[in-house]
Amino acid sequence: QVQLQESGPALVKPSETLSLTCTLSGGSISSFYWSWIRQPPGKGLEWIGYIYYSGSSNYDPSLKSRVTISLDTSKNQFSLKLTSVTAADTAVYYCARQNSGTTWDAFDIWGQGTMVTVPS
């Protein structure tokens, strides 16, 4: 059974860098797209970006200047770095497997999510 688990600090100071890691178990990271998605308290889902197993990546335009997603195939992990955080970056951060076809994308496996707070 494929599972994802996020890890990282629960509290990040303003202007610092948020760093999270997602570990895949029960499968190989050497296929599919791997995404980060966040959900501010009481709000909807926001896609942050993805990395393909080949190493190519794509990010939400509104976050692109601050985001880096990287891949470590030897550890079956992928990571998120978000720089210059503010209170607006407070959210539950999810990692997810993105399955894609010619005309569709679906996040079929999700981590349990990790709450990250940036105090104001």
Partner 1 sequence: SSELTQDPAVSVALGQTVRITCQGDSLRTSYASWYQQKPGQAPVLVIYARNNRPSGIPDRFSDSSSGNTASLTITGAQAEDEADYYCNSRDSSGNPVVFGGGTKLTVL
Enumerate binding residues for partner 1 (CB under 8 A). 35, 44-47, 50, 58, 60-61, 94, 98-99, 101, 103-108, 110-113
- For partner 1, the closer CB: 13 or 64: 64
Given the complex with partner 1, which of 29 and 93 has the nearer CB atom? 93
Is the Cβ of residue 55 or residue 104 nearer to partner 1 in the bound state?
A: 104
Q: What is the DSSP string of 5-66?
A: EEES-SB--TTS-EEEEEEEESS-SSSSEEEEEEE-TTS--EEEEEEETTS-EEE-TTTTTT
